[in-house]
Structure 1
Amino acid sequence: MQSQMSKQESEIKQQTMAHDDEPDEWDKRIFSTGCADENAKMTDCYYEKKDWRACKDEMDRFRRCWKEHGNAKRTDTKDA
């Protein structure tokens, strides 16, 4: 019985791992901006330093990329 449980647990783990490799809605949105690499570097910087002020260069690169790809329109506010 134990070997059967191990096989079932292994199958569940493999299915879970396969699912984790698929991009979720958040990933799809980030990739669609054209700035996924810059976003990852900025996020990694914050994760390491725990202070956005220490990540000014990464934030500036992301901001430039965002503008270059015309993403400002995506975040414009609209009057209701």
Structure 2
Amino acid sequence: MSNTAKDEGKPPVDEEDDEPDEWDTRIFSTGCSEENTQLNDCFREKKDWRACKDEMEAFKQCWKRQGNDERTDSKDA
């Protein structure tokens, strides 16, 4: 089966898409996207969250500094 036939019916993939997706937009809005990236990179490299305690702490401190605790608190109905 050719690639053309195999890909029929699928939307075209834009390899040059630089627009942030919904996830990126949410992370950027926290003000902690750099810390989030460092934490994710650490986990990807080490495959163990316990080995990323410094990165996790940096993310948590950023989260607090940016006031995200209040922004994401759940509310009792």
Q: Mark yes or no: TM-score above 0.5.
A: yes
Shift of 1:78: 1.0
- Which amino acid in the other structure matches residue 74 of structure 1? R
Count of residues paired in the alignment: 67
What stretches of structure 2 of length at least 5 have no aligned partner?
Answer: 5-11
What stretches of structure 1 of length at least 5 have no aligned partner?
Answer: 6-11
Q: Percent identity?
A: 63
Name the SS for the 2:31 alignment partner: coil
CA RMSD in angstroms, aligned pairs only: 1.5
Structure 1 counterpart of 2:31, from 31, 34, 38: 34
Structure 1 counterpart of 2:16, from 8, 11, 18: 18
Computing the radius of gyration from Cα coordinates, the structure with the larger value is 1
Cα shift readout 1:23-75 (whole Å, capped 9, x = no counterpart): 00110110011100000000000011111000000000000000001010122
Q: Distance in 1 between matches of 2:20 and 2:71?
A: 21
In proportion to residue count, which structure has more helix?
1
**TM-score, normalised relative to structure 1:** 0.77
